[in-house]
Each structure stands twice: as structure tokens, then as C-alpha cells.
Amino acid sequence: MSADFSFSSYRALLQAFADRDYKAMSYADADPARRHLILRHDIDISLGAALPIAEIEREAGMAATYFVMTRSEIYNPFAPDGARALAHIVDLGHRIGLHFDAALYGPGQQLDDAAARECAVLGKIVGQDVHVISFHRPAPALIGRAGTIAGRRHAYEPRFFAEMGYCSDSRGGWHRGAPLNHPAVRAGTALQLLTHPIWWLDPAAEPAARLDRFLDTKFAALDRELAEHCEVHVAGRRVVR
């Protein structure tokens, strides 16, 4: 099933929330009992894919929180393209949080220390303190975990996950119902809306095909980069041995 995920449908979704008197709020300020909307983006795959979404939110007058990984094998917030994209997102008035992969740390390691270190690294890149964390593919024990991590709020706290509505576009679809049909929205109370910008880039394609296209683009960029930094490699040429 391919949901109608496109820039125009995202714009329309924000407008529909505005028409219902919803206001986009930060994690710190959102009140579960009010018409508050937390716009959350977990960046799993591409910082660049977040830019058009960040622009649309700016046009709508809504600020979101973009959760960014520091230890991804897929993108690098320190690399020039990544750092530029992050700076642009901040310039548009959005907040940056840490997208934290707890699975990278062994059971004996302190998650609070690890998260604090990653927040410090990300804070250096964006030039501001990072106050909020979302877990990447959280283990069941982390979902609904009460209390802070590394002294910071996290997106799966009961306040944001149970006391208010929660809706996600995970795996490229509204698998648990569309946000406007959520009981919290019908009741006029708060919603945390998690979207992943990569799913909204290419409305014609199924989710798996969107990832294939992303991979083609990524490979072409890597090919050019390799040619630039190593003269043995010639861009566009594959040596078959």
C-alpha cells in the first residue's frame, strides 16, 4: 500500500491541523490536554530529504523538531552537505534533537553517558544545546520509559506517547490510521506526529522503490567523491574482475 505522501499532501495536512486550531509546539511546551501538535521527524536516511519538509513547515508557520543521528553509517552531519542541511533547518526556525540508537551500546554501558556525549557532539555541529532525544528503533523497554535520559526529555516518555496521541508514518504508510482520524485529534487534544521526510520525496513510488532511488543517488555521489579523492578511481566506471 502506498499512502498519498507528497509535498502537497504534507502541506495540506498541516493546513488541516491549522484549520482545527492546532498549534505546533516544542516538547517542552506541549500540553496533552490542548490542541497542540508536536511535529517530529526522525532522520534515519537523509538530511537533504528533510529540507523541503522544513521549508513547507516554515511557510505554514509551524516549527518542528528534527532528530539527527551522530553515528549513522548512512549520513554524516559533520560532512559539508550534512552540516549545510542542518544549518538550513535551524535557520528555518526548527529545533534539533538527537536520534539515538541505543542498540550501538552494550548492556553494560551507561546509556545516559552515551546519550550525553552524542548530544554534546550534535550541539557542537548545530551551535546550540540539544534538549530532546528520540530513540531509533527502540527496544520495548525504552517505549514508555518514564523519566529523562542524560537529563533530557525523550519522545517515548508517557507524556508524549500515552498522555497525548501518537501517530507515525513508519515504513511509508499510516499503518495505524491517518493522523486526522486519530481519537486525540477528534477530541481536540494533543498529538505527537512522527514523519520521516524520506517517505514524502517521491509520491509515485512504493516505499521500497523510494529507497532504491535514494540508493542510486547516494551511489552516484559516492562514485564522484571517490574519483575526486583517489585518482585510481574513474567516476562512472565499474571494474569487473
| Choices 2-10, 41-49, 57-65, 124-132 (CB under 5 A): range interacting with Zn ion | 41-49
Q: Which is nearer to Zn ion, 42 or 169 (CB)?
A: 42
Q: Are 178 and 17 in contact (CB under 8 A)?
A: no
All residues at 6 or more sequence positions from 147 whose CB lies less than 8 Å from its CB, including other chains: 157
CA–CA distance from 154 to each of 10, 95, 228 (Å)?
Answer: 25, 14, 41
Instruction: Give the shortest CB-61-to-Zn ion separation in angstroms.
Output: 27
Of the chain, the end-to-end C-alpha distance in Å amounts to: 40
- Is-contact 56 10, C-beta < 8 A? yes
**Which of 35, 41, 131, 136 is in the footprint of Zn ion by CB under 5 A?**
136
Distance, in Å, from the CA atom of 14 to the CA atom of 20, rounded to the nearest integer, reads 10
Q: How far apart are CA 51 and CA 197, in angstroms?
A: 8
**Smallest separation (angstroms) from Zn ion to the CB of 43:** 8
**Identity of residue 175:** H
Stretch of 40-48, 144-152, 177-185, 214-222 lying at the interface with Zn ion (CB under 5 A): 40-48
> Residue 23: how many CA atoms within 13 Å on its side-chain side?
10
In the list 44, 57, 118, 169, the residue contacting Zn ion (rule: CB under 5 A) is 44
Given the complex with Zn ion, which of 136 and 182 has the nearer CB atom?
Answer: 136
> Which of these ranges, 87-95, 113-121, 131-139, 216-224, lies near Zn ion under the rule CB under 5 A?
131-139
Q: Which is nearer to Zn ion, 94 or 136 (CB)?
A: 136
Of 22 and 160, the one with the shorter C-beta distance to Zn ion is: 160
Q: Which residues of the shown chain bind Zn ion in the complex (CB under 5 A)?
A: 42, 44, 136
